[in-house]
Amino acid sequence: MKFNTDVLHSNQVHARLTGSYKPQAMAHVSPIYQTSTYVLEDFDSAVYLNQHVDEGFVYTRFGSPNADELEKKIAHMEHAEAALALASGLGAISTAVMSVVKAGDNVVIGDVIYGCTYALFTKVLSRLDITCTRVDTSNVKAVEEAIKPNTSLVYVETPANPTLKISDIEEISKVVHLHKDITLIVDSTFASPYLQNALDLGADLVVHSATKYLCGHGTVTAGVIAGNKERIDRCRMPYLQCFGAVIDPFAAWQLMQGMKTLGIRMERHCQNAMKVAKFLEGHPMIDRVYYPGLPSHPTYEIAKKQMHNGFGGMMSADIKGGMDAVRTVMNNVKVFSLATSLGNVDSLIQHSPSMSHFDMTPEERHAASIFDGQVRLSIGIEDADDLIEDLDQALNKIKL
C-alpha cells in the first residue's frame, strides 16, 4: 500500500479476541484501555506473563493494548521488527542510549543536536564515567576518525536541530559497522517516517520525539524507538522497566489518531516550508536561511539523496540585528506562536540559543552555527501566503 493508506490501516485493531475467538467488540476506532493493571487468567499465566511482559498485558508500566498497537504501527512505518513507545522523546532517547552504553565507554555525537540530548551526554552520562566526542557528522571522515577503541555508540541527529544539517546515514553506517561492537542510533524526529527511514539506511535504532510530527497537534508528549526485536527487548527490560518512562494508554491512543493524517500533513508542511524558505532567503533582514531543500544549504546534496517526498517543515534563519531584532520579530508575529516545540499543524517560532539549546555555552553554540540572532521556525499547514505576510510585517519592524 502507498503511504497514506498504510498509515491509516496498518495494524489497526478493531477487536480483541476472547479465548473462544469471538470478538468482544468491533469498534472502528480502537478503545482506550485506561487501566493501571490487568486481571490474569490463572497462576501459571500470571507467572509466565510477569516474566515475559512483551507477550501480554500485566501492568501498564510494561505496556498496554494501546501502546502495543502504536508500537506495531511505528515498527511497520519504520520497516522495523519491533518498536517501543515511551512517555516523551527524551524518554525514548535516554532509554535507547542506556541500553547500549556502560561505564568506561565513549560515545560519538553530532556537534549539532537537540539541547536536552546534548545535556544527557555531557551532564548525565559524564557522571557515569562515559566520555563524549563531538564531531561534524555531516563529515563521514570526521566520524571515522573520532571512533576510539572504547566507542560503543555513534549518535546522529538528521536533520539536526536547529541548523537542519543533514548527515549521510548510509555512509556513516558503513564506517560504524566496520566495528562489530558499535551501535548507530539516529534521531529522525525532524523527518518522520514520511521523509526518511533510517533503519533502511543502516541505523541500528531510530528514535523520534513523537510529540512532534507523529502527533502533529501538540496534544501529547511521547517518544518511540524502532529497531530489531533483540534491541527493542533490551530497551524494554530492564530499562523501561526500571526508568518508568512508559506511555499512558490515552497518550498512545491520541498519538495514533494524529498519525492517521501524517502523510497529508507532511506533504503540506514541505510545500509551505519551501515557499517560506525561498521568501526568507531573499529578504533584506535575513543573513542566512537553514533549510535542506535550498541549494544554498551545505548538505543539500545529502538531503536530496537521503530524504524522500520532500525536505520537511523545519528551518532556521539568522536575522540581522542580533537579539534585539529577534525580540522585535517574536513580539510582532501574529500567525506564528512563540512556543518551544515543533511539528504542529500550526506554525511555531522559537529562539534556539535561549530556549532549546540554552544548556550549551555561547562558544559551543557559535561553533555549531547557532547564533544569537537565530530563530527556528516550524512551518504549519496554514496558507503559505499568510505565513509569508506575517514574517514580512514582523521583520519590517526591525530598526537597525
pLDDT score for 368: 80
User: Average pLDDT of each block of 10 consecutive residues along the chain (400 residues)?
Assistant: 89 62 70 93 92 90 94 97 98 98 98 94 97 97 98 98 97 97 98 98 98 98 98 95 94 97 98 98 98 97 97 98 96 96 97 82 83 96 98 96
pLDDT score for 13: 73
pLDDT score for 12: 76
pLDDT score for 189: 98
Among all residues, which ones are annotated catalytic? 61, 114, 187, 212
d(CA 294, CA 302): 12
pLDDT score for 299: 97
Residue by residue, DSSP assigns 331-350 as: HH-SSSEE-S----SS-EEE
pLDDT score for 33: 94
d(CA 142, CA 168): 12
Sign of CA dihedral 232, 227, 190, 216: negative
Q: Per this entry, what is the length of the chain?
A: 400
pLDDT score for 25: 62
The model's pTM: 0.93
Domains and CATH numbers, the chain: 3-259 (3.40.640.10), 262-395 (3.90.1150.10)
Please list, in sequence order, all residues whose beta carbon lies within 8 angstroms of the beta carbon of residue 343, skipping any fewer than 6 positions away: 189, 192, 211, 212, 213, 214, 215, 216, 313, 378
pLDDT score for 24: 60
Longest dimension (CA), the chain: 75
pLDDT score for 15: 59
